[in-house]
Amino acid sequence: MPIRLSDMNVPRHIAIIMDGNGRWAQNRRLPKIMGHKAGVKTVEVITEACARKGIEALTLYSFSTENWKRPREEVGSLMSLFEKSMADKWRKIHDNNIRFNVIGRVHELSSALQKEIDRLKDLTRDNTGMVLSLAINYGGRQEIIDGVRAALTEIRNGELDEVSLNEELFSEYLYTRGLPDPDFVIRTSGEMRLSNFLLWQTAYSEIYVTDVLWPDFGIKDLDEALEEFGQRERRFGG
């Protein structure tokens, strides 16, 4: 008998490694930026679907610290696409009661993009629905280093007793402070790795990999992933 989504244990926090935009474009003999644009449309569809399903938090791996190694033209096009998407989609995000967030080394982004990020965060600050976090200029190892530096600063200033520092407290020094750890990580395009994504937070996350390229990932694919999540038994080492 098929499992109905309403009968399943729904994850509180879904994290998605959105992979396959370039291959999607290559398969259609299109410029790579067209794959990224198609990927933005998928972001919109999946974000709204997760919000409707009662997911508390959705984190999307949008641009890693390693992605700066890509050709300058592609990086520039991606940054422009981030900026334009935030400017164009703010109303839909706000109307869906979604709270917008960005994690990563935001201070290294362009001033124009930082301005759009701050504007959308301020606009949705009081929304009470799902938290949508875009990981931009994000790296899991870099996040841990930044967290250690922040904790050490407070220890040196006498604001933190190092003896009291434990896993729960250290989580408050990470970019994802205030969010539950991801229950479920989805990776599209078939690659079997985390790619420096939420390394601390995914210690006990369930991982699901699909061969579907991100621009082709639809609500049906999301439902299939959630059905599998609902069938897994999470033991947390017990």
| DSSP state letter for 57 | E
Secondary structure class of 192 (helix, strand, coil)? coil
- What's the rounded Cα separation, in Å, for the pair 60 and 14? 9
* Other CB atoms within 10 Å distance of the CB of residue 11: 25
Torsion angles phi and psi, residue 102, rounded to 5: -130, 135
Residues in the chain: 238
Distance CA 194, CA 192 (A): 7
Residue 28: helix, strand or coil by DSSP?
A: coil
CA 101 to chain centre: 10
3-state secondary structure at position 223: helix
Q: How far apart are the first and last CA of the chain?
A: 30
Positions marked active-site: 19, 67
Contacts (Cβ under 8 Å, ≥6 apart) of 83: 110, 112, 113, 116
Residue 210 has a CB neighbour count (10 Å cut-off) of 20
Closest among 101, 154, 148 to 123, alpha carbons compared: 101
